[in-house]
Amino acid sequence: MTIAGLGAYGIVIMAVNATSKSAHDSTMAMLANAVIEQVDSTLIGTGQGFLSDCTGTQFNIDTAPGGAQLTGGIGSDIDFSATPPANYQMDYKVTSPCAAGATGMTRIYDVRWHVDQIGAAAGTPSNSFLLTIAAKRKGLSLPIHVRVMVGKAE
């Protein structure tokens, strides 16, 4: 019975770890999608995009071509070892509950983005942009990368 009990205990620990990892992955994907929506609405419309985290910190979302350094050329991953320019990175804080002054658990996510205008390198820029966003939990978390094409009306 001891061996069976230890086996069941191991399965429970693995399930709890998988659930925690899934929650972090979902938060990182949500943050990447929020940046996509802000960049897309700013490129198509006018004004400046911004997001506010659970502590009330407001982050400006810059949409000019450029941004966080990539590990290679267009379409490559965001380089987390390089310091990003202002307004292309945010340390987004998630608290429990999500409210200014909350005393519960706080997690910080490093979110960065890069905007490439398609065709700009060839001298024939279009109104299409490749947006690369990456998010990772501060610490030892691996980042997720999302790439999406967004367009601007002519």
Q: What is the pTM of this model?
A: 0.78
Look at the chain and report how many structural domains it folds into. Answer: 1
> Which residue range forms the structural domain that includes residue 100?
2-151
Q: What is the pLDDT of residues 101-153, one digit of tens each?
A: 777 778 899 999 999 888 877 778 788 889 999 999 888 788 989 999 988 76
The secondary structure of the chain as a DSSP string is -HHHHHHHHHHHHHHHHHHHHHHHHHHHHHHHHHHHHHHHHHHHSSS-EEEE-TT--EEEE--SSEESPBSSSTT--B-TTSPPPTTSEEEEEEESS-STT--S-EEEEEEEEEEEETTTTTT---SEEEEEEEEEETTTPPPEEEEEEEE---
> For all residues of the chain together, what is the average pLDDT?
82
